[in-house]
Amino acid sequence: MGSGALTAVRTIFRLAASMLVALFALLAPAVATALDDTVRIGVLAHSQESLNLWSPTADYLTQRIPGRRFLIVPLDNHTIGPAVAQGEVEFVLTNPGSYVELEARYGVTRMLTLRNLRQGQPYTVFGSVIFTRADHPSVKHLEDLRGRSFMAVDKNAFGGFLMAWREFKDHGIDPFRDFTEIKFIGLPQDPIVYAVRDGKVDAGMVRTDMLERMAADGKIRLDQFRILNPQHAEGFPFALSTRLYPEWPFSKARQTSDELAQQVAIALLSLPPGHPAAQASKSAGWTVPLDYTPVHELYRELHVGPYEDYGRMSTADILRQYWHWIAGMVVLVVALSAIAFYILRLNRILNLSQERLLGASHDLERANRRLERMSTQDDLTGIANHRYFQEHLDLEWRRERRARKPLALLMIDVDYFKALNDALGHLTGDECLRRIAHTLAGGLHRAGDVVARYGGEEFAAILPETDARNAAMLAERLRAAIENMGFAHPASKVGSNVTVSIGVASLVPMEQQKPEELIAMADRALYRAKKIGRNCVVADGTPD
């Protein structure tokens, strides 16, 4: 054999060896995962507390999912990030703030939200409570904490500091500059309560329901404490000083297979509220994942975690400063893509078997999107449902109260709708409601305006920063647009086409008021519109 042919053979052999090494590197993690039946769930909690609370859940999953053994791994604020980054856990159970950081930095994905059981009732939201001694002579409001000492869990703890920091910022307080001392003591939170009670610090904070639980256990008396910046949320009975945020999410790490995640999600959604695992965790089981946008908003506002540099560097700055790294990454991505494509061609048989798993993952993703859409969208009309209406009204109420601007509400009722159903049938009635919803939605042009199906044949429209006069003008345009749809109504007493009556109300929310007062005002105006003959607009405060 000539030297040229020998050299060619050696080159081909080296190329084949390199390809086999690359293929093994791609397949090794999957093979290792398949051989290891242990599934680790990282839990952000004090070591013994996390084992007591969540080991029964791990046992439950072990029983429900054959061939897998689930194990609880206690973590803290300093170890949870490295554990996820290094692939030491397959799933993570942590507070919403920690989840947002893990999502941004390491690609974890929320699967479920905890239904926390407190005083016999399940809750999917929580907050923090800021408190001092009841007999403290100088601290009665948040502003009084300037020049005082404060105790919390950790600088990066979501419910253990960041929630309160956001409220401090709203009141013009910089805790790192205005407090004489901030003590971060970690978990558990009981020592914070005792330190405030015993006068070792002027004030402290814990997550909501902590004070009530300690009082129920006989460890403290609630009358020993004064709540600072008290908030009142309907249906939430615990002492509260901050906004409410969604409960702890159960999330999967990036390397965890979609098939295993689907099995775990189905098992946890099937966990009965009275099961020993739910009782041990003091929960009522799990529900579909909530919207964690409010948590992202907190982190953006405080410029912490993944939003530490938010808004500080433009795209042009990044390109100008790191263009050589970006160019190198692009070249590397292109090269790796070419190699991956070549290897994938050689592994077509493996891909065919993986397609079934991918299909199951897509089914779960579609189901999750459908569940999320169902929770906020009315099935018949496609617009927002009553639940979304209530949540959005509460949000706009707080926003306009802080800004001292008016908030308007339109209550819209279809005239003689029952008679339409009786005369033309429910299918025609449903089509009528869909047409009206489409017309109402098309008549609102501002990004903040929301129209929702309030119930039955009633609709409602939320109009931020709108006084009564402008709200009434918009209501009249909507009324005319619906009448001009030309939807025949043979049983109507006010015309040949479908018409609506609209009640209008607007006010500037005050601290002592609640959103229900605005709803009642609009309802009264709607009643008057129907009383004086229907197919008209009446604003609250307008004489009959």
Same domain, 401 and 522: yes
CATH number of the domain where residue 169 is located: 3.40.190.10
Same domain, 235 and 253: no
**What's the number of domains the chain is made of?**
4
Cβ-count burial of 170 within 10 angstroms (0-12 exposed, 13-18 middle, 19+ buried)? middle
* pLDDT the model gives residue 221: 96
Neighbours of 159 (CB within 10 A): 26
* pLDDT the model gives residue 338: 87
What is the spatial distance between Cα 120 and Cα 139, in angstroms, rounded to a whole number? 33
Neighbours of 63 (CB within 10 A): 11
What is the spatial distance between Cα 178 and Cα 521, in angstroms, rounded to a whole number? 43
Same domain, 398 and 489: yes
Same domain, 332 and 407: no
* pLDDT the model gives residue 510: 94
* pLDDT the model gives residue 29: 47
User: In terms of residue numbers, what domain contains 343?
Assistant: 315-369
Same domain, 110 and 211: no
What 3 state SS string does 332-380 have? HHHHHHHHHHHHHHHCHHHHHHHHHHHHHHHHHHHHHHHHHHHHHECCC
In a domain, 454, yes or no: yes
Same domain, 530 and 503: yes
* pLDDT the model gives residue 316: 62
Order of all β-strands in the sheet with 537-539: 450-455, 458-464, 407-414, 500-507, 537-539
Same domain, 533 and 390: yes
In a domain, 208, yes or no: yes
Catalytic residue list contains 457: yes
Strand segments (E) across 427-499: 450-455, 458-464
Catalytic residue (one of 103, 457, 476, 516): 457
Same domain, 182 and 38: no
What is the spatial distance between Cα 101 and Cα 311, in angstroms, rounded to a whole number? 17
Predicted TM-score (pTM) of the model is 0.51
For β-strands 149-152 and 125-126, DSSP reports them as: unpaired
In a domain, 544, yes or no: no
CA neighbor of 89 nearest in space, from 21, 43, 122: 43
Q: Cβ(449)–Cβ(464) under 8 Å?
A: yes
In a domain, 422, yes or no: yes
* pLDDT the model gives residue 312: 64
In a domain, 374, yes or no: no
Same domain, 150 and 200: yes
* pLDDT the model gives residue 322: 74
In a domain, 478, yes or no: yes
CA neighbor of 239 nearest in space, from 134, 391, 98: 134
- In sign, the C-alpha dihedral spanning 94, 96, 102, 107 is positive
In a domain, 11, yes or no: no
What is the spatial distance between Cα 459 and Cα 435, in angstroms, rounded to a whole number? 12
Same domain, 455 and 351: no
Contacting residues for 269 by C-beta, under 8 A, at least 6 apart: 112, 285, 286, 287, 288
CA neighbor of 413 nearest in space, from 457, 380, 376, 379: 457
Same domain, 163 and 238: yes
pLDDT per residue as tens, the chain (544 positions): 555 555 554 565 566 555 554 554 454 444 444 446 999 999 988 777 778 889 999 999 999 999 999 999 999 888 999 999 999 999 999 999 889 999 989 999 999 999 998 888 999 999 999 999 999 999 999 999 999 999 999 998 898 999 999 999 999 999 999 999 999 998 889 999 999 999 999 999 999 999 999 999 999 999 999 999 999 999 999 999 999 999 999 999 999 999 999 999 999 999 998 899 999 988 999 999 999 999 999 999 999 888 887 666 556 656 776 777 888 889 888 988 889 888 888 888 877 767 777 776 676 677 566 666 567 899 999 999 999 999 999 999 999 999 999 999 999 999 999 999 999 999 999 999 999 999 999 999 898 899 999 999 999 999 999 999 999 999 999 999 999 999 999 999 998 999 999 999 999 999 999 999 999 999 999 999 999 999 999 998 655 4
* pLDDT the model gives residue 17: 52
Same domain, 213 and 142: yes
In a domain, 24, yes or no: no
Neighbours of 316 (CB within 10 A): 8
Radius of gyration from C-alpha coordinates of the chain: 29
